[in-house]
Amino acid sequence: MRLTQILGLFFAVAGFLLSTWVIGDTDAGTPTTSTSAGVFMGLMIFALPCFVISAILLVPSTILLLFAKERNIHGFHTKKWQLLLAVNLVISLRYIYIIMSLFISL
């Protein structure tokens, strides 16, 4: 469970850094169709899979770790692991919000 939480955070940070790198590489002075298409493809190929993997790892494990019994079983009783769980809880809530808003808009 600890490895799942660490990997979920790693993929979330990697997705954020990759999306920042892809978007930051564009020139804001001359936006063209090919630049927009390149940014879109870069986000779809690099950043989106990282966010999807992170969501698949974090959401179920974070929901499971909301119960005190499960936290004690998996060793989430020190401050370091509690901080990791708190950060991953915020990330998981954002993923759940995005998923719910996509379903509501359909």
User: By C-alpha distance, which of 4, 14, 101, 104 is closest to 58?
Assistant: 4
Domain that holds residue 81: 2-105
Give buried/exposed letters for 9-32 (b at 16+ CB in 10 A, else e).
bebbebbeebbeebeeeeeeeeee
Q: What is the pTM of this model?
A: 0.86
The CA-atom distances, in angstroms, between 13 and each of 17, 89, 94 are: 6, 14, 14
Mean of the per-residue pLDDT values of the chain:
90
pLDDT tens track for 76-85? 989 999 999 9
Total domains in the fold of the chain: 1
Answer whether residue 29 shows pLDDT above 80: no
CA distance 69 to 82: 14
Segment 43-99, tens digit of pLDDT:
899 899 999 999 999 999 999 999 999 999 999 989 999 999 999 999 999 999 999
